[in-house]
Structure 1
Amino acid sequence: MGMCFPCPGESAPPSPNLEEKRAKLAEAAERRQKEAASRGILDVQSVEGKRKKKEKLERQMAASGPPSEGGLRWTVS
């Protein structure tokens, strides 16, 4: 009555394997990251597509090198 410890005849419940515990913790962390990344976004796929398109455009601009001589042109009329 009112004791916090198990009876001497009872054994403690088995603890989970460390590898299983780590795997579960990693899965939970990934799930939290996905939820945090998509918080407030209605269409996650659209945002991902735009991000990939932007990255591709940036890679193409970096690969093309510096702009040719002169850069921008403008005329005064």
Structure 2
Amino acid sequence: MGMCLSCFGGDDVVVTPDPDARRRQLAEAAEKRQKETAYRGVKNPEAVERKRKKQEESENQAMTTTASGGGGLRWQVG
């Protein structure tokens, strides 16, 4: 019943990595999980990323255009 098998073999010892390596592995696993949950149900995540970047660029361009006074709508009275 309560036998300790590690006393007989000694080959079944599990070596744990140093804390820095373990921390790096945990960080990589967390990043992988975040990517998987961010793109859950998306067939082509690269296309989604390209579309998001294109939308951000167009928003930034619209902000700079309206901030500089060029473009946009102007009110005219008269």
Q: TM-score, normalised by structure 1?
A: 0.70
Structure 1 segments, 4+ long, off by >3 Å, are: 12-15
* Partner in structure 1 of residue 37 of structure 2: 36
What number of residue pairs does the alignment pair up? 67
Q: What are the ranges of 5 or more consecutive residues in structure 1 without an aligned counterpart? A: 71-77
1:61 alignment counterpart: 62
Aligned to 2:2: 2
1:21 aligned counterpart, secondary structure: helix
Aligned to 2:22: 21
Q: What stretches of structure 2 of length at least 5 have no aligned partner?
A: none
Where does 1:44-59 land on structure 2 (aligned, <5 Å)? 44-59=45-60
Q: CA deviation at 1:2?
A: 1.5
CA–CA distance in structure 1, aligned partners of residues 27 and 15 of structure 2: 21
Return the offset for 1:24: 0.2
CA-based RMSD: 2.4
Cα separation, partners in 2 of 1:56 and 1:17, compared to 1, 3 Å: same
Letter in 1 for 2:42: I
SS across alignment from 2:42: coil
Q: Which has the higher helix share?
A: 2
Show CA shifts across 1:24-53 (max 9, x none): 000000100110111000111111111010
